[in-house]
Amino acid sequence: MTRKNSRVEWARNRMIEKDIEGRGITDERVLDAMRKVPRHLFVEGNLKSRAYEDFPLPIGEEQTISQPYMVALMTQALKLTGKESVLEIGTGSGYQTAILAELSERVYSVERIPSLAGNSRKVLDSLGYKNVLVRLSDGTLGWEDHAPYDRILVTAGSPKIPMPLVEQLNENGMLVIPVGGNHSQMLTRVTLGKDGHLKEEKMEGCIFVKLVGRHGWEENDK
């Protein structure tokens, strides 16, 4: 192992201990996945040196790679066992996609911005994730071809819960999504029971970029 690698790993482990475990994330599988996935490879240039600070960072096109603590919180909320088919809306950098790929059977990820879909595909391929498909389209419509999904994760803030996503949820499935205004949202988990009833839980305040699409915000909404 090169010296540079071991410094990167040191920084990553430190962040996980201090900012992820330190802030109450307890799911060992989530912590292991975060110890493994090299977040610095999902950002460009000199941002790499800040990849193991607990902040969102710019990834171009006015979008951001989510804060590691938020990635951990959302992933833990999904209660993944390794057997699930997961739909992710908002591929962005592909970092959260990689974490999901570590913890589930298969990940279908949808991104609306071509350059981000292209870049994330490249990085995920170079890291050898064979259980991930990235598609360019409006994720508020879901991805009907592979539905139903055991889990759905939306990584952009939405004014409401898009109905197509609820419709593409499997029995006992869960949808995690930030819901609220343009400047702050509430991380919300919707669980579909065997009896067809939906349970909604509000988890934690958060701030995400806009989910732009037919069942989300309009491009120019403020």
Whether 66 sits among the annotated catalytic residues: the reply is yes
User: What is the nearest approach in angstroms of ligand SAH to the Cβ of residue 99?
Assistant: 9
Annotated active-site residue in 66, 109, 120, 158: 66
Write the CA distances from 105 to 25, 149, 183, integer angstroms: 22, 11, 34
Q: Can you tell me the distance from the alpha carbon of 120 to that of 49, in angstroms, rounded to the nearest whole number? A: 19
Q: Can you tell me the distance from the alpha carbon of 39 to that of 99, in angstroms, rounded to the nearest whole number? A: 10
Q: Name the site residues for ligand SAH (rule: CB under 6 A).
A: 59, 63-66, 89-90, 92-93, 95-96, 110-113, 116, 138-140, 155-156, 209, 211-213, 216
31 vs 143 by CB, closer to ligand SAH:
143
60 vs 148 by CB, closer to ligand SAH:
60
6 vs 45 by CB, closer to ligand SAH:
45
User: What is the nearest approach in angstroms of ligand SAH to the Cβ of residue 75?
Assistant: 11
Write the CA distances from 98 to 1, 105, 219, integer angstroms: 22, 12, 27
For residue 178, whether the previous peptide bond is cis, meaning omega lies within 30 degrees of 0, is no
User: What is the nearest approach in angstroms of ligand SAH to the Cβ of residue 179?
Assistant: 14
β-sheet bridge partners, residue 87: 108, 152
User: What is the nearest approach in angstroms of ligand SAH to the Cβ of residue 129?
Assistant: 14
173 vs 213 by CB, closer to ligand SAH:
213
Give the residue closest to ligand SAH by C-beta.
92
Q: Which residues are catalytic?
A: 66
